[in-house]
Amino acid sequence: MKQCIDPEALYKLGSGLCRRLLLPQVAKSEVIRNWLGEPPMPLHFSRDGAEVWLDKYYAAYRRGKGEVKYVYLTLKHISEEEEDRAEYEKERGFARPFPSEIERAFSCARREMERRGCAYLCGEIGPVGDG
C-alpha cells in the first residue's frame, strides 16, 4: 500500500494552496528536497495571517486565527502525532490535547482511510458541513 503522495503531487498541492492564500509560490526543488529528507521537515509559509504547512505526510493551511484545515493527511502523520502526545503525557504526567479541529480531522481521516483501505487522503478533511 502506498504510504504517501509523490513529491510532484505534493508540489502541485502546495503551489495551489499558496496561490489560493496569496502566499509566495513554493519552489519545486525545496519541496522535493524536503520530501527526500530523513526525517522530512515540514515547510511553513505565512503572510498576512495565512499559513501553509507542507510535509511528506501532510499538508494543511489556516486563514487568520481560523481553524487548521488539512488537505492531505496520512496514517503515518496521525500515528506520529498521537505517539508524540502519549510521550508528552508520560514525561510530564498530564495530557496535551489536540485542538478540536485537528482531533476531528484525524478521526474523520482515520475512519475514511480504513473504509477505503488506504494510507492517505487528499482533499478537505473533516466532518461534512465543517466550516
In a domain, 72, yes or no: yes
In a domain, 37, yes or no: yes
Our CA angle for 63, 68, 72, nearest 5°, is 110
Is 7:36 a contact under the CB 8 Å cutoff? yes
Helices (H), 37-120: 75-92, 100-116
pLDDT of residue 18: 94
Instruction: For residues 105 and 69, give the distance between their C-alpha atoms in angstroms, rounded to a whole number.
Output: 8
Overall number of domains in the chain: 1
pLDDT of residue 127: 61
In a domain, 115, yes or no: yes
10-residue mean pLDDT series, the chain (131 residues): 92 95 93 87 92 95 92 95 90 85 92 95 71 40
What predicted TM-score, i.e. pTM, was given to this entire model? 0.87
Tracing cell 503525557 back to the chain, one arrives at 89
In a domain, 32, yes or no: yes
Range(s) of the domain holding residue 98: 7-125
In a domain, 22, yes or no: yes
In a domain, 2, yes or no: no
